[in-house]
Chains A and B, each alone.
Chain A
Amino acid sequence: MADEQDKTNGAQGSPQVNREKPKPPGYFEGESMTRRHAFTIASQAIGGLAGAAIVLPAVGFAVAPIFHRGKERWEGVGPVSDFVEDTYRQVVFTETEGIGDAGKTTAYVRKSSADLGEEPGKFVAVSNRCAHLGCPVRFVEAAGNFICPCHGGVYDFQGKRIGGPPVRPLDQFQTRVTKGQVEVGPRYSVTSQMEPVRARDPGEFTGGIWEYLYPPRPSTFPPP
């Protein structure tokens, strides 16, 4: 008996009686829900709108930088005659403005070499940011290699990984020559076949399926 009454919520009286729904208080002619129910839904909807009006702009404000690409920045690093084919010259330039020395980065620049299968007459600017976790690598003249002090990543003369934990070759910067000055521009990453792709953060693979697993970010510049 108790079970049956629970199911019918006790509002329909004795089960033997005809089960036509009696008019509960709150219903009016032709209404499909009580006023209380309608007002509950309405006030919840208005409350939700008010909440969204506060939360959405705030979240958008915090998330917006993901979709924002800064101005393309080129900086002269020295006359053409400063750079040779068989070794690098270290240059320091500003990559991020407004934070003083912390926004500067280091690149190793040389003339492109036909012996390495590169297009002659260009300049190569290799970033010193290790492709493992972003520590600063150093070009060791005697070995002809880039070596990372943090976890022992080693790259060859071109910046290809030859040892240690890095997942891809060293990043590069776009280069151009303006009025006899070599200029470095936006950063880009390369695949293990040295094909340029959009800049990736350290630790992210490039090429093949990795282009989908580590998708290009809207905040980076297209590769040359």
Chain B
Amino acid sequence: MPKLRKPKIPDAVVPPPLRKPAKPGSAGTPKGQAPSDLKEAPERKSAGDKMLEVGKEAPIDALGWVDQRLAASGFLTGMLFRKVPKGTNWFYTLGSATLFAFIVQATTGVFLAMFYTPSATQAYSSIAHINNEVPLGQLVHGMHKWGSSVMVILIFLHMGRTFFFGAYKYPRELNWVIGVVLLILTMTMAFTGYLLPFDQRSFWASIVGININGTGPVVGPYLSDFLRAGPELGATTLSRFYAIHMLLVPGAIIALIGAHMYLVVKLGTTAPPWVKAQRPKVAAPVAPLEAGANGNGRVNGNRANGSPVDGEETSA
């Protein structure tokens, strides 16, 4: 396979900090010509040309206006043009894929909520109404229903990638912990969402799920009562699950995704385990032991022994 030439990124797209500085002597003008400002004045432009010029500049001006107030371009440049390690491959997109699945769930969920009634007596008929009568209702409901499975599958694949690539290790442990919380929240979403259609499958699956939860010793029975809002699955159980499903957990997920992605950008990603760390071709000269030491050949040893040399004279 012939090696493709790397396409050159046009200068206008590359943000100034990453742009290669122009070589001296080649700045804009060809050699031997006077700089442009020394040439004769440009001919007068027509009104149309001026309008065109203003129109061309307008988006940049608008962006500049916003950026002057947000000062976001530095951050965005750092984030979007950050370096990724050698060997980065398609497995690294599983996290973004999970995020995309979440965005699909959030979007379709908002529109489903416009037609859904979280009441034990009307929930089933409102879902039937969405599926049978609302234009594209079946599609949106289907996206939400199947999308939930997609999100659960993707989040597990993402977790597997992180685990098998060893990407949970120092300094990324906290991001692993946040990810596990996100996994639990995703499972909570799947569990609470399952009841909402309130058909036979939802009803019995929720009963079984709550009862499994109740088998935890000591706190289990109370946790079940909390989930059901009473000793039996009742009228408030559905609204409770609905509130957890669309108000409580999504907020927590959005906040934690923010923290998760902040840490990804902050700490960077890992190389795959099969990519060996490259040694520098010429080994850095090893400083002789005496060079950095205070005469006795020990740099930090004194402090470790608990007898600071410096302290002896001052504490007397």
Interface flag for A102 (CB, 8 Å) = yes
> What would 14 more interface pairs be, CB under 8 Å, given A3-B311, A215-B221?
A3-B310, A63-B226, A69-B231, A70-B231, A96-B234, A96-B235, A99-B120, A133-B211, A134-B211, A150-B208, A204-B214, A204-B221, A213-B217, A217-B225
Residue B150 at the A interface, CB < 8 A?
A: no
CA–CA, A4 and B215, complex, Å: 58
Residues of B within 8 A of A199 (CB): 231
A65's partner among B121, B203, B217, B229 (CB-CB below 8 A) is B229
Q: Tell whether B104 is near chain A: CB-to-CB under 8 Å.
A: no
Which parts of A198-214 form the interface with B (CB within 8 Å)?
199-204, 213-214
A99 touches B121 (CB 8 A): yes
Q: Are B315 and A96 in contact (CB under 8 A)?
A: no
- Indicate if the CB atoms of A98 and B220 lie closer than 8 Å: no
Q: Which residues of B contact A203 (CB under 8 A)?
A: 211-212, 214-215
Residues of B within 8 A of A135 (CB): 204, 207-208
Contacts of A214 in B (CB 8 A): 217-218, 220-221
Query: Are A62 and B226 in contact, CB atoms less than 8 angstroms apart?
Result: yes
* Interface status of A103 (Cβ within 8 A of chain B): yes
For A2, list chain B residues within 8 Å (CB). 310
B308: Cβ under 8 A from any A Cβ: yes
Residues of A within 8 A of B234 (CB): 96, 98-99, 103
Closest to B225 in A: A66
B222 contact set on A, CB distance < 8 A = 66, 217
Shortest 4 CB-CB contacts between residues of A and residues of B: A99-B120, A201-B214, A65-B229, A203-B215
Say whether A116 faces chain B, with CB atoms less than 8 Å apart.
no
Report 13 cross-chain contacts, Cβ distance below 8 Å, ordered by A residue: A1-B314, A4-B311, A65-B225, A96-B234, A99-B120, A99-B235, A102-B120, A133-B208, A199-B231, A213-B217, A215-B221, A217-B222, A217-B225
Point out which of B203, B208, B228, B233 has the most chain A C-beta atoms below 10 A from its C-beta: B208
Asked if B120 and A98 sit within 8 Å, CB to CB, the answer is: yes
Complex interface: chain A residues within 8 A of B230 (CB): 65, 68, 70, 96, 219
Q: Give the docked Cα–Cα distance between A96 and B236 (Å).
A: 11
Chain A residues within CB distance 8 Å of chain B:
1-4, 15-16, 62-63, 65-66, 68-70, 95-96, 98-100, 102-103, 133-135, 150, 199-204, 213-215, 217, 219-220
Known contacts A15-B315, A217-B225; is A95 also within 8 Å of B220 by CB? no
CB contacts (< 8 Å) of B225 on chain A: these are 65-66, 217, 219
Residues of B within 8 A of A96 (CB): 230, 232-235
Write out the residue numbers on chain B whose beta carbons fall within 8 Å of the beta carbon of A201.
210-211, 214-215, 220-221, 224
CB-defined contacts of B314 to chain A, threshold 8 Å: 1, 4, 15-16
Q: Please report which residues of chain B, range 75-93, place their CB below 8 angstroms from some CB of chain A when the two chains form the complex.
A: none
CB distance from A71 to the nearest CB of B (A): 12
Task: Give, as a whole number of angstroms, the nearest-CB distance from A61 to chain B.
Answer: 11
CB distance from A78 to the nearest CB of B (A): 23
For B218, the chain A residues whose CB sits under 8 A away are: 213-215
Cβ–Cβ < 8 Å partners of A204 in chain B = 214-215, 220-221
Nearest CB of chain A from residue B104's CB, rounded to whole Å: 29
CA distance A213 to B222 in the complex (A): 12
Judge whether B198 is part of the interface by a CB distance below 8 angstroms.
yes
- B210, B225, B232, B236 — which one has the most chain A CB atoms within 10 A of its CB? B232
Contact digits for B46-70, partner A, Cβ 8 Å, 1 yes 0 no: 0000000000000000000000000
